[in-house]
Structure 1
Amino acid sequence: MQNNFNPELGNWYVASLVLQVRPEYINEVKDKLATMPYTEIHGEKPDEGKLVVVMEADKEKALVSKMESLQTLEGVMAVSLIYSQRDEIN
């Protein structure tokens, strides 16, 4: 992930999501995702407007906030949580 995030240093939260995006907005959404820390695109079907995204954070509230922010991106029609995991040290 970006910015050398190290889950061994503390709490770690991860979520896998599927975004349904209007196909004409797919590149714009991908560009915005590329600017989000600890966020990666792991799969895509541009012609269907689907993106598989993984997000990480060191706080659960921060991860939820990041996921909610995806719903406000222009062209995003749906955000579906597929998998989540947490590893709490503190």
Structure 2
Amino acid sequence: MSAHEHRIDRRDFLKGRIASDEGTGQAGSARFLYIASAVVTARAEDCPEVARCIAEMPGTEIHGIEGTKIIVVMESENNGDIGSRLTEMALMDRVFSANLVFEQIEPLNDHGGDR
């Protein structure tokens, strides 16, 4: 096999469009679940309200509040959604910062999206 047969386009990889069959070069046919966690910081007295607003975002859960930190977990089948949500959090009133802490990519099978 040549190196070209296993080549994955960097732009496709970063956008979550990875070929499902090795060597086909057909990007976009595989499905993945993107799981990410973030820490959002705000004043301690603002954290409960900020956390409530974040929890209203689709595919987003609050896993805890500790002092000035809100621990957030996000899931999506589109990698761009994670970045968009993180940016939305960072731009919220009373939020000082929103930082990605962890990201994992899980392949989805073709049987209803089960992991």
TM-score (norm 2): 0.62
Say yes or no: does 1:22 pair with 2:43. yes
What is the identity percentage for the equivalent residue pairs of Structure 1 and Structure 2? Answer: 32
How far is 1:40 from its partner?
A: 0.7
The equivalent of 1:76 in structure 2 is 95
Residue identity matched to 2:43: R
Q: Which has the higher Rg, Structure 1 or Structure 2?
A: 2
Matches within 5 A, 1:43-58: 43-45=64-66, 48-58=67-77
SS of 2:58's partner is coil
Runs of at least 4 residues of structure 1 off by over 3 A?
Answer: none
Segments of structure 1 that go 5 or more residues without pairing to the other structure are 1-9
What is the TM-score with the length of structure 1 in the denominator?
A: 0.77
Q: Give the distance between the partners of 2:84 and 2:55, measured in 1 at CA.
A: 17
Provide the C-alpha distance between the structure 1 equivalents of 2:80 and 2:54, rounded to a whole number of angstroms: 19
Name the structure, 1 or 2, with higher relative contact order (CA <8 Å, separation 6+): 1
Q: How many residues align?
A: 79
Contact 1:25 1:74 in 2 (8 A): no
Letter in 2 for 1:13: Y
> Which protein has the bigger strand share?
1
In structure 2, list runs of 5 or more residues that go unmatched.
1-30, 109-115
